[in-house]
Amino acid sequence: MTPSSLYVLDTNVLVHLCRDDPLGRYVDATYNLRDQAYRPVICIVTHGEALSFAELNGWGESKRQKLAQLLDNLVTVDISVPAVLGAYAELDVASQRHLRGARNMGKNDLWIAAVARVVEGTLLTTDRDFDHLHPGLIQREYVDPERFRGGPHR
């Protein structure tokens, strides 16, 4: 696989974009998300995760509206697509074999990775949950959130 200019956003990236915090602004500018030839992609599972995150963190109406607008402006891929179902099974098996004895990969992350595999996009994330799938099964671009803690990014 070669890196793609089609980006699939992990839920954590979506949250940072919605917050418009330094990490979100960095991702938006660095990956040129607003001016790409193709709009970024998200998995339908990300909708649920983001809405849950907003509820758990007591987001007000203004931030929830911003989230709704962001969700509406991204391409959403449903998980009932046969290719996504097949990719999910493939990645789950590969993940469990790779992580023998370690914590299983979260099922929501598996759905997000399956979408990235099917659309042949590069998954943008701020966590390491997808490392064992990269580069053999998916393309993944990791943005280290530690660079943005405690002041201006370094």
pLDDT given at position 153: 42
Strand partners, 139: 122
Encode pLDDT of 133-150 as tens digits. Answer: 999 999 999 999 999 986
Residue 122 lies in a domain: yes
* Beta bridge partners of residue 123, listed in sequence order: 8, 140
Quick check: is 1 in a domain? no
Instruction: Please check the confidence at residue 1 and state whether its pLDDT lies above 50.
Output: no
In a domain, 24, yes or no: yes
Q: Is the CB of residue 37 less than 8 Å from the CB of residue 5?
A: yes
The amino acid sitting at 16 is H
Residue span of the structural domain in which 67 resides: 7-145
Asked if residue 154 belongs to a domain, the reply is no
151 assigned to some structural domain: no
CATH number at residue 15: 3.40.50.1010
In a domain, 33, yes or no: yes
pLDDT band of residue 101 (cuts 50, 70, 90) is low
For the whole model, what pTM was predicted? Answer: 0.91
Q: What confidence tens digit (pLDDT) does each residue in 102-143 have?
A: 667 899 999 999 999 999 999 999 999 999 999 999 999 999
In a domain, 136, yes or no: yes
User: Residue 99 above 90 pLDDT?
Assistant: no
The number of distinct structural domains making up the chain is 1
Average pLDDT over residues 37-48: 95
How many angstroms separate the CA atoms of 133 and 135, rounded?
Answer: 6
Residue 149 vs residue 31, higher pLDDT: 31
What is the arithmetic mean of pLDDT over 24-32?
94
Residue 79, pLDDT > 90, answer yes
In a domain, 2, yes or no: no
Would you say residue 24 has pLDDT above 60?
A: yes
Strand, coil or helix: 140: strand
